[in-house]
């Protein structure tokens, strides 16, 4: 996997849920593809965006889990 960017999620973050949209402070929107549901509250948490071939992943700091996402801008 290749690290694409490190940034923050805009506003509040309340965890992972399938089809959830994440808006990043540096620009771009990503829709969660992984069928993972996990609650965790945070405000503007740090996030790392990775790419592996045609797949995109988000690693929200503090979640201890990486989820697959779809880049939707």
- Tens place of pLDDT per residue across the chain (73 aa): 999 999 999 999 999 999 999 999 999 999 999 999 999 999 999 999 999 999 999 999 999 999 999 999 8
Is there a contact between 51 and 22 (Cβ–Cβ < 8 Å)? no
Q: What is the pLDDT, as a whole number, of residue 73?
A: 82
Which residue(s) pair with 52 in the sheet?
55
Look up the pTM and report it. Answer: 0.90
Q: Which residues lie below 8 Å from residue 31, measured CB to CB, with a gap of 6+? A: 19, 20, 21, 22, 69, 70, 72
From residue 41, alpha-carbon distances to 4, 22, 33, 60 in Å are 24, 14, 20, 11
């Amino acid at each position: 996997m290749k690290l694409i960017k490190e940034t923050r999620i805009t506003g509040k973050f309340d965890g992972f849920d399938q089809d959830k949209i994440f808006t990043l402070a540096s620009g771009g929107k990503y829709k969660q593809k992984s069928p993972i549901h996990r609650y965790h509250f945070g405000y503007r948490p740090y996030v790392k965006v990775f790419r592996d071939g045609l797949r995109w992943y988000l690693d929200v700091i503090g979640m201890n889990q990486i989820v697959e996402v779809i880049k939707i801008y």
